[in-house]
Amino acid sequence: MTASLQPGATVGIVGGGQLGRMIALAAAAYGLKVHVFAPDADSPAFEVAGRRTVAAYDDAAALAAFAESVDVVTYEFENIPRPTAEILAARRPLHPSAAALATTQDRLTEKSFVAGLGIPTAPFRAVDDAAGLARALADLGQPAVLKTRRFGYDGKGQRMLRAGEAVDPAAVMAEFGGQPCILEGFVPFESEVSVVAARTASGGFSAFDPCANEHRDHILARTVVPAPALGPEAAAEALRIARAIADALDYVGVLAVEMFVVRAADGTAGLVVNEIAPRVHNSGHWTIEGALTSQFAQHVRAICGWPLGDPGRVGGAAVEMLNLVGAEADDWPSYLAEPGAHLHLYGKGAARPGRKMGHVTRLRP
């Protein structure tokens, strides 16, 4: 259990992307110091951190020195190797914990854990080889979605197996490089929502209103709050699900639970959990201006052992967040000129296609 930190303490952040950058900015607002650890000298988070370590995630000596220089360690991406998490956790409180990381970074472990809580997920089977894929397809039918168990994000490491498509299991497994996979039955969802929530070591819990997420080319394009597809009952159920997951993980920090909204024959909205992100999340960026406490401030509070802030929406406003992906960021002057639009740019050099360069938040009172 973490003792409560004082302003002036140092937060260590593993990972140097825009999420780390925004955690660092929130920490600075509370008078905390920040030390970022990332392998790439060009990392956006380095620009806003007082201390930086440029080293590989498997550099044990650099990880140990980093951990010893800070008071608490957190991370901004979930693909942290287990040994890395263990080196850090042996020296300083690591939030979220290595155990929460292990559960959520493997899609099979994650789905089994969620289903074990009695929370609906897509039907799924473990797939280790071609014979396993053939068996799983026989069980679940098509359409189905084959995903690598680990290291998938933004639609990478997954493939749809469409209804009626002739599937050669050996060829498909070869495409996946023989990596351990999971096959999921296709969920005929109406829309996608997420709950961004925070939990403290003493069991304090606070969730932002569920938001609706639209993707383009598997990358989040737009988030709106409140989620149009959810009535008050489904929204409350989404928060109950997030809390059950956070409690069962004994989670400390911010997490995001992504869910599919399915429409039952009687018109009621049902929720199916797709995945858990053990970190601050792109679908929570709207909270910077749209909520009384941002997801980044909430995360910092949780990992410092401080009470959580008010997650309510500012003035009850409807909020829209647009990601600026690749060349979309070239439109920054028009967003800057737009009354009420809040522009965020992440300070990344090249606007490569598919790269998240910034975002814009609009509040509609």
Q: How far is the CB of 218 from ligand AMP (least distance, A)?
A: 6
Q: Any contact of residue 77 with ligand AMP (CB under 6 A)?
A: no
Minimum CB separation of residue 296 from ligand AMP in Å reads 22
Three-class SS string for the chain?
CCCCCCCCCEEEEECCCHHHHHHHHHHHHCCCEEEEEECCCCCHHHHHCCEEEECCCCCHHHHHHHHHCCCEEEECCCCCCHHHHHHHHCCCCECCCHHHHHHHCCHHHHHHHHHHCCCCECCEEEECCHHHHHHHHHHHCCCEEEEECCCCCCCCCEEEECCCCCCCHHHHHHHCCCCCEEEEECCCCCEEEEEEEEECCCCCEEECCCEEEEEECCEEEEEEECCCCCCHHHHHHHHHHHHHHHHHCCCCEEEEEEEEEEECCCCCEEEEEEEEECCCCHHHCCHHHHECCCHHHHHHHHHCCCCCCCCCEHHHCEEEEEEEEHHHHHHHHHHHHCCCEEEEECCCCCCCCCCEEEEEEEEEC
- Candidate residues 71, 76, 78, 184; the one interacting with ligand AMP per rule CB under 6 A: 184
Binding-residue total with ligand AMP (CB under 6 A) = 13
141 touches ligand AMP by CB under 6 A: no
- Taking the least distance from each CB to ligand AMP, the nearer of 27 and 197 is 197
Q: Site mask, ligand AMP, residues 191-230, x = CB under 6 A?
A: -x----------------------x--x------------
162 touches ligand AMP by CB under 6 A: no
Radius of gyration of the chain (CA): 20
Of the candidates 98, 119, 145, 324, which one interacts with ligand AMP according to CB under 6 A? 145
Binder among 11, 45, 137, 187 for ligand AMP (CB under 6 A): 187
Query: Which listed range, 2-10, 182-190, 294-302, 320-328, lies at the site for ligand AMP (CB under 6 A)?
Result: 182-190
Residue with smaller CB distance to ligand AMP, 186 or 205: 186
Residue 78 makes contact with ligand AMP by CB under 6 A: no
Binding segment for ligand AMP (CB under 6 A), chosen from 151-159, 167-175, 231-239, 293-301, is 151-159
Q: Is 307 in the site for ligand AMP (CB under 6 A)?
A: no
Residue that has been written with the tokens 């472990």 in this structure? 109
Q: How far is CA 359 from CA 179, 288, 321, in A?
A: 34, 11, 7
Nearest to ligand AMP of 213, 293 (CB atom): 213
Q: Does 274 bind ligand AMP (CB under 6 A)?
A: yes
Tell me the closest approach of the beta carbon of residue 274 to ligand AMP, in angstroms: 5
Q: Which is nearer to ligand AMP, 275 or 289 (CB)?
A: 275
Asked whether position 276 contacts ligand AMP by CB under 6 A, the answer is no
> For residues 106-135, which are near ligand AMP according to CB under 6 A?
122
Q: Which residues contact ligand AMP by CB under 6 A? A: 122, 145, 152, 155, 158, 184, 186-187, 192, 215, 218, 274-275
